[in-house]
Structures are given as structure tokens and as C-alpha cells.
């Protein structure tokens, strides 16, 4: 029976379980009693026991591998040798670069031979392997029941710890980092003084992505949520990169000109397949979706007029 199914475990769990997550301090949702070190599975234990017993039998001479004779290097006794027809000495070892005239013969154990010997040994000593494995599993269960190394986690922290090997940064308590690290990347930048400021290219790209139009409310919301009261120029290079990635995920609505579309159709500058994609957008001048035909003449005239005005200004 698994230890966490027993009545004793449930009673101990009720006593040890706290009313908040020890990482993120949340009280919402389901709280679990989490072991920081999980015991290995029974299959892994049996495999390790089999390997240990096989090594002992090989050292005692009770089991031997089937071997074949192979040519090897006389210096390092490895099989990585090549024969050269036009050079003297003709043999050369790729690993140690030793040259020689005649290779030596060694007993080579193939991977298939190791596999066959392992299977045969496991079948012959299955009872002993299971007995030793059950003893080790019992020791793990006893340690599991002592509640050593247990903490109270929420389901999110428990999942990230077990499956993603991530823990909450102890300094900022916002970002998650690898379990073996002391702090997250942002806290490391602040601690080491290598917090690089946002670049000019990133600032221009953010302004281009977040166009200040009524149709781009999602950009405004994403920008305001990310900045959280901070100024754009005060962002770090890392934060600016994260913001650019978030803004890039928001779909950009197509905006073309009805008159421009008409001119492009006349000159056959676009294909019908592309027209189907463009027709889902909005016109710059009339604001109608799908570029209706009745507005094309007017928008085309406005478009030509704007070109003339621009030419006079230049």
C-alpha cells in the first residue's frame, strides 16, 4: 500500500499542512504537502538493484560476457584505429594519435552481448532482485512517512517544482527560476549592476507596434499592464524585449485604401488570393471594412489628391 493512502499519513498531513503556500504565500485554491525530494520509482529501483547485483557477479566471476577478438591500439587499447595504405607506419589511432605497425587483439564485448547477459541474469535472479528492491522501497516509505523535507505548496508551485524544476525567486518573489539558482535573471542583473537600459531601436519598435489609434485598444491595455506606472525609457533591455514579444502576439488589423486597391486591381499588381486577405481590413479614408465598391471612386480621388498635395509640399 502506498504511504500516502494510509490513515497514519492522512493524520500527519493534517497536522503538518499549513494554511498558506510557503513560496507565494497564497491562501487560495488547494494546498498540498509537497516533498522537496521525491523517491525514485519502483522500476528505477529494480533496475539499479539488478545492475548492482550483476556487477557483483561479474567481479566474483559467476557471470561472464560473450566476447569477440577485435583489433585495437597497443597504446590505449581502444578500437578507434585506421589503416593507411600510403603511409608508414600504416596504422594510426584516432583517439591518442599513436602510429604503429601491428594492432593488438583484445576481447570486445558488444552492446548486444551486454543486453543479453543482463536479461538472462535478471530472469535467473528475479526473486532476489525483488526482495532487495522491496527492502529499499520500504526504507523510502519509512522516510516518506517521517515528513522530512516537506513544505506546503499551492498546486501551481508544486507543479512548477516537480515538472518544470522551477522555484519562486526568494528576492523579488515574482519570477520563477531554476531550483539550483540563488535568484532570477532580473534580480541577478540588479545585484551585479549589469542592468542594461532600453535601446533606441527597442523604443522605436514598441512605438510602432503600439499605434495610438482607437482600433488598437488591445495594445494600450497590454502596454499599460506591462509598464504598471513606469515610464517607457526606464525599462531595462530585458523588459523591453518581453514587451515587444507581448505586443507582437496581438494581431494587427489590415488598413488599406479603397482607391489604392482599385488602382492595384487595374494594374494587376496583386493576386486574387491576396485580395481575399486584404478585403478583411479597413479603409484609411472611409473606415469601411472590406473596401466596398461604392466608396472606391471617392477614396481613389482622395488618394490622388493627397499625392498631389504631397508633391507640392516637396
pLDDT (0 to 100) of residue 68:
92
**Same domain? 243 vs 280:** no
pLDDT (0 to 100) of residue 175:
86
**Same domain? 233 vs 285:** no
pLDDT (0 to 100) of residue 262:
47
Whether 269 is in a domain gets the answer yes
pLDDT (0 to 100) of residue 70:
93
**Same domain? 69 vs 111:** yes
Q: Cell digits for 35?
A: 516533498
Instruction: Point out which residues pair with 68 in neighbouring strands.
Output: 108
Q: CB of 63 within 8 A of CB of 54? A: yes
Q: Cell digits for 257?
A: 485604401
Domain that holds residue 124: 62-130
Q: Which of 237, 236, 212 is nearest to 224 (CA)?
A: 212
Q: Cell digits for 258?
A: 479603397
Pairing verdict, β 166-168 and 150-154: unpaired
**Structure pTM?**
0.51
The total number of structural domains in the chain stands at 3
pLDDT (0 to 100) of residue 73:
94
pLDDT (0 to 100) of residue 276:
42
DSSP string, 53-110: HHHHHHHHTS-----EEEEE-TTT--S-EEE-SSSSS-EEETTT--EESSPEEEEE--
**Same domain? 230 vs 274:** no
Whether 17 is in a domain gets the answer no
Whether 39 is in a domain gets the answer no
SS (H, E, C) 102-129: CCEEEEECCHHHHHHHHHHHHHHCHHHH
The tens place of each residue's pLDDT in the chain, 314 residues long, gives: 677 778 887 888 888 888 898 888 888 888 888 888 888 888 999 999 999 999 999 999 899 999 999 999 999 999 999 999 999 999 999 999 999 999 999 999 999 999 999 999 999 999 999 999 999 988 888 888 888 888 999 999 999 998 889 999 888 788 889 988 888 887 777 666 555 677 777 777 777 766 544 445 666 677 677 777 677 777 777 677 777 777 776 665 544 444 444 444 444 443 444 344 444 455 555 656 555 555 666 666 665 565 545 444 44
Q: Which residues contact 118 (CB under 8 A, 6 or more apart)?
A: 50, 54
pLDDT (0 to 100) of residue 1:
62
Instruction: Point out which residues pair with 70 in neighbouring strands.
Output: 106
Burial of 247 (0-12, 13-18, 19+ CB in 10 A): buried
Name the domain boundary from 130, 146, 170.
130
Name the domain boundary from 229, 249, 269.
249
- How far, in Å, are 15, 61, 300 from residue 268 at the CA level? 77, 85, 16
- How far, in Å, are 96, 135, 238 from residue 142 at the CA level? 50, 11, 47
**Same domain? 245 vs 268:** no
Cell 472590406, residue located: 290
- How far, in Å, are 75, 76, 85, 297 from residue 102 at the CA level? 11, 14, 13, 91
Whether 290 is in a domain gets the answer yes
Name the domain boundary from 74, 104, 130.
130
Instruction: Point out which residues pair with 92 in neighbouring strands.
Output: 82, 99
Amino acid at each position: 500500500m502506498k504511504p500516502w493512502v494510509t490513515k497514519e499519513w492522512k493524520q500527519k498531513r493534517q497536522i503538518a499542512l499549513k494554511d498558506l503556500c510557503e513560496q507565494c504565500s497564497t491562501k487560495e485554491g488547494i494546498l498540498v504537502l509537497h516533498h522537496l525530494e521525491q523517491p525514485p520509482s519502483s522500476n528505477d529501483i529494480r533496475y539499479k538493484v539488478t545492475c548492482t547485483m550483476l556487477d557483483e557477479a561479474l567481479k566474483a566471476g559467476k557471470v561472464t560476457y560473450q566476447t569477440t577478438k577485435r583489433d585495437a591500439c597497443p597504446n590505449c587499447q581502444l578500437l578507434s584505429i585506421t589503416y593507411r595504405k600510403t603511409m608508414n607506419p600504416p596504422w594510426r589511432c584516432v583517439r591518442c594519435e599513436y602510429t604503429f605497425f601491428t594492432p593488438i587483439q583484445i576481447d570486445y564485448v558488444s552492446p548486444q552481448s551486454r543486453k543479453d547477459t543482463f536479461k538472462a541474469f535478471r530472469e535467473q535472479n528475479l526473486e532476489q532482485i525483488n526482495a532487495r528492491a522491496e527492502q529499499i522501497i520500504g526504507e523510502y516509505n519509512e522516510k516518506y512517512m517521517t515528513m522530512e523535507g516537506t513544505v506546503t505548496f499551492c498546486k501551481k508551485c508544486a507543479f512548477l517544482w516537480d515538472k518544470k524544476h522551477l522555484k519562486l525567486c526568494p528576492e523579488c518573489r515574482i519570477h520563477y527560476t531554476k531550483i539550483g539558482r540563488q535568484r532570477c535573471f532580473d534580480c541577478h542583473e540588479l545585484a551585479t549592476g549589469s542592468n542594461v537600459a532600453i535601446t533606441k531601436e527597442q523604443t522605436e519598435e514598441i512605438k510602432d507596434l503600439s499605434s495610438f489609434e482607437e482600433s488598437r485598444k488591445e495594445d494600450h491595455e497590454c502596454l499599460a499592464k506591462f509598464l504598471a506606472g513606469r515610464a517607457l525609457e526606464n525599462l531595462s533591455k530585458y523588459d523591453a524585449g518581453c514587451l515587444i514579444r507581448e505586443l507582437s502576439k496581438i494581431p494587427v488589423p489590415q488598413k488599406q485604401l479603397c482607391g489604392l486597391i482599385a488602382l492595384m486591381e487595374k494594374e494587376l499588381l496583386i493576386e486574387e488570393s491576396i485580395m481575399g486577405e486584404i478585403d478583411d481590413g479597413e479603409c484609411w479614408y472611409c473606415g469601411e471594412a472590406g473596401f466596398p465598391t461604392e466608396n472606391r471612386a471617392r477614396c481613389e480621388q482622395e488618394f490622388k489628391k493627397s499625392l498631389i498635395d504631397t508633391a507640392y509640399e516637396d
